[in-house]
Structure 1
Amino acid sequence: MLRVLDVERSTYYAHVSRRQQAVAVATHSAGRPVPGLSYTQDGKLVSDEQICEWIMEFLAGEGASYGYRKLTVLLRRRHSLRINKKKVYRLCKRMDVLRPQRQLKIKYPKRVANNRVITDSNQLWETDIKYGRLHGEQRFFFLMSIIDVFDRVIIAYHIGLTCEAQHLVQITHEALMKRQLFDKVNKPVIRSDNGPQFISHRFEEACAVFEIIHERIPPKTPNKNAHIESFHAILESECYRRHEFKTYRQAYEIVSQFIQDYNRIRIHGSIYDFSPYEYMEAIKQGTVKPKQIKV
């Protein structure tokens, strides 16, 4: 037949081999047939029909809306079945008694930090947390602060032995009060990383009440929060490393004084060698040209 059709033997047998391989793959992918039974711990056979009856008894008799995982636990405990949750899932699906899966709703979707050009105060604030060591008490304290990217002022801060979302809400409220922005239409964007205080529902609810936008930087991109990170580097080198804090009270007094000096006295090369407050006053008087900042 191959000679009549002028077909090479190798071509024909290659075609047959491919067909056999395709059939083998299809047969294998179908998997083994469902056995229709399970075993107890002492080796007795139990049919799937009996298991389905027990499942319905659990659901009807106990009044609990159990899912397939807890039904598996009950079958193992009360009927000594050797059964896994996958089979219980399959049986529940066949009987249409599966509980609907819980849908997680994100009330406040994440807003990723955008590139911006800052031309004035109160357009973009950055916030973050810095840890400090209390050597005398063998524990840490926390500094959470808000900086204005344009004028470099630390507007508000919290120093404490704990640092929670409620403290973030408090300093955000304080910052808005200090800048007299509650009755303003245009409020600043506040930028943070993805720490637990910043992604909390409590802070997002406060932002909705304050009518400010909260945006978060992508993971592993501290350069997106560069100005507050720069302040923390200055704080580390010029304050934390120069003092060995014995008590929390000592740390509170020294760090608070440092922040006041930072705002009023310490000069910054990026703002004409002024302190933040001096820079704000110079802009107000019109003696310097405001610098645009790209973030």
Structure 2
Amino acid sequence: MKKGYPKTKVLRILELNRSTYYYQISKKSKPKRRTPGRAIPGYSLDINNKRVPDDQIKEYIIQIIEDEGLSYGYYKITMAFKRNFNLKINKKKVYRLCKELNILRPQREIKPKHPRKIAKNRTVTASNQLWETDIKYGYIEGEDRFFYIMSIIDVADRDIVAHYIGLNCTGEDAVRLLKIALRKRQLYDAEIKPVIRSDNGPQYISHAFVSACEELGIEHERIPYKTPNMNAHIEAYHRILEDECLSINVFKSYTEAYKEVNDFVKKYSTKRIHSATKYMPPREYYEYLQRTNEKVNIRL
């Protein structure tokens, strides 16, 4: 046929049905379809069938490595999970999460560029001296997925200086939130900036966040593992957020969750009174402290 002979004549000589010939031609021209694998759910279950997001599991992995042994491989980490956290998780998933964290051997043998600075006891006397930051996970039932709420709270006045809501949460998101908080308090170019205190989540130990703190001239300290009391103010705020917003709403969509959480944060800062703020809303108490130069005395 390439030499110009009629297709019908050639097919008749070969005793090949025309439909068979054209079917084979069309089959070759079609690209092969790849059957997609199972979608990554983004969470694991504990023994009570409660969903634990992957980012929380990554934080547990870092905790296991620093607490128990830097030479642990992913299999030992899997065994430690079952002993310490009662998680239903297999070694393949632990391997994938370790790879995402870039802590598989031999990478773990490389000394970190930014050594960890442990949080120390402090006495806070005014706003903008110490900020605490942490991440809370919400769940969207209508879309069967988690979303993230990252917040920065001022220890002195309890105001939520800035917050972030998103379906993903990275070190770059933490950097943007920190810069927004500095601009809101008109501290971006200030000579003295607040100390920022966090836990050991992957967003806060990321190169992006640690480098940004150095460039901005901000002291970043991380609380030791199993000491949430050293981040007590943001932990207390997240408990209120859980009790008064997340646990009483069944979100059908991310848009709905975004609106409800934003409304809650606004109400918390501008309307909700606290005994620690002389029964003023946090935003009003911050303005009061700025106006009167009154000192607080918070030891932590």
TM over 0.5: yes
Q: Secondary structure of the equivalent of 1:242?
A: coil
Q: 1:258 aligns with which of 259, 264, 274?
A: 264
For residue 290 of structure 1, what is the aligned residue in structure 2? 295
The answer as to 2:171 corresponding to 1:171 is no
Residue 229 (structure 1) aligned to one of 230, 235, 253: 235
Distance 2:236 2:116 in 1: 25
| 1:272, distance to aligned residue in structure 2 (A) | 0.8
Please state whether the residue corresponding to 1:132 is helix, strand or coil: strand
Residue type at the aligned position of 2:271:
I
Report how far residue 168 of structure 1 moved: 0.2
Identical counterparts, % of pairs? 52
For 1:163, give the aligned amino acid: C
Pairing partner for 1:184 from 176, 181, 190: 190
Q: Does 1:218 align with 2:224?
A: yes
Q: Using the TM superposition, give the Cα deviation of residue 125 of structure 1 relative to its aligned residue in structure 2, in angstroms.
A: 0.5
Deviation per CA, 1:165-192, whole angstroms, max 9, x where unpaired? 1100000010111111122111111000
The 3 A distance-change label for structure 1 pair 162 and 103 is closer
2:250 corresponding residue in structure 1 = 244
8 Å CA contact 1:151–1:276 kept in 2: the answer is yes
Supply the distance in 2 between the matched residues of 1:135 and 1:103 (Cα, whole angstroms): 41
1:117 aligns with 2:135: no
Structure 2: distance between partners of 1:157 and 1:229: 14
The answer to whether the 8 Å contact 2:159/2:286 transfers is: no
Counterpart CA distance in 2 for 1:103 and 1:168 is: 27
Partner of 1:72: none
CA distance in 1, matches of 2:136, 2:248: 16
105 and 249 in structure 1: CA distance in 2 versus 1, 3 angstrom threshold: same
Alignment of 1:36-47 (within 5 A): none
| C-alpha distance in 1 between matches for 2:193 and 2:164 | 21
Gaps of 5+ in 2: 1-107
Please state how far the C-alpha of 1:114 moved relative to its aligned partner.
Answer: 0.5
Q: Is the 8 A contact 2:126 2:289 kept in 1?
A: no
CA distances 1:92-127 after superposition (whole Å, capped 9, x unpaired): xxxxxxxxxx97232111100010000011110000
What number of residue pairs does the alignment pair up?
A: 194
Q: Distance in 1 between matches of 2:279 and 2:169?
A: 33
User: Per the alignment, do residues 289 and 246 of structure 1 end up closer, same or farther by CA in structure 2, a change over 3 Å counting?
Assistant: same
Partner of 2:287: 281
SS of the counterpart of 1:110?
A: coil
Measured in 1, the distance between the counterparts of 2:270 and 2:183 equals 19
1:154 aligns with 2:160: yes
What letter is aligned with 1:150? A
Q: Is the 8 A contact 1:271 1:291 kept in 2?
A: no
Cα 1:293–1:134 shift into 2, 3 Å: same
In 2: Cα distance, 1:289 partner to 1:238 partner: 31
SS of structure 2 residue aligned to 1:239: helix
What corresponds to 1:40 in structure 2? none
Distance 1:111 1:158, change over 3 A: same
Displacement of 1:291 after TM fit?
Answer: 2.3
TM-superposed CA distance for 1:285, in Å, is 3.8
- Per-residue CA deviations over 1:22-52 (Å, capped at 9, x if unaligned) read xxxxxxxxxxxxxxxxxxxxxxxxxxxxxxx
Normalising by structure 2, we get a TM-score of 0.62
Q: Name the aligned partner's letter for residue 281 of structure 1.
A: E
